[in-house]
Amino acid sequence: MKMIILDRDGVINQDSDHYIKTPEEWKPIPGSLEAIARLNQAGYRVVVATNQSGVARGLFDMAMLNAIHARMHKAVAQVGGHIDAVFYCPHASDEKCACRKPYAGMFLEIAERFDISLVGVPAVGDSLRDLQAASAVGAAPILVLTGKGRTTLASGDVAPGVQVVADLSAAVDGVLV
């Protein structure tokens, strides 16, 4: 089974320092939805792994998170693609739960749910914690320069060998080579 794991905010959609709190605030990054459709056409399962601490912070509830994800699913479907599953961590960073990236819990849950080893599976993110969670399970981290990606790269903390690309479309170009 071919799989790719994508972060949501800053990879698929525009990120916000004030959180994406409503479906109306969810805006796709140009080319990202079409990139997901290309992955589907090439036989990839597309899985989203996203920290959503806005739930724990009381900025939005689970019904609103589901509505945001419904908008994302609909937008991807409108260009001929689909997302196979969305895994999320609703906890705040101070809760130190195992599912919140940079910890590997969400990735381990994906591996268990799909009965797959994540070794070498491309995992696209825009933050250091995305890359760290991917590396912890042997996945192949890819840093996009959208969202927080430029700041992440400038931090100097990105491990050697991590692929760096402009955006999700460029990441997919590399995966589909």
* pLDDT of residue 96 exceeding 90: no
Instruction: Give Cα separations from 70 to 46, 96, 161 (angstroms).
Output: 15, 28, 35
* pLDDT of residue 107 exceeding 90: yes
Residue 98 counted as domain residue? yes
Average pLDDT over residues 109-125: 98
> How many domains does the structure of the chain reveal?
1
Residue 36 counted as domain residue? yes
Instruction: Give Cα separations from 73 to 2, 66, 116, 155, 176 (angstroms).
Output: 20, 10, 23, 33, 22
Residue 164 counted as domain residue? no
Residue 138 counted as domain residue? no
Q: What is the pLDDT of residue 75?
A: 98
Residues tagged active-site: 7, 9
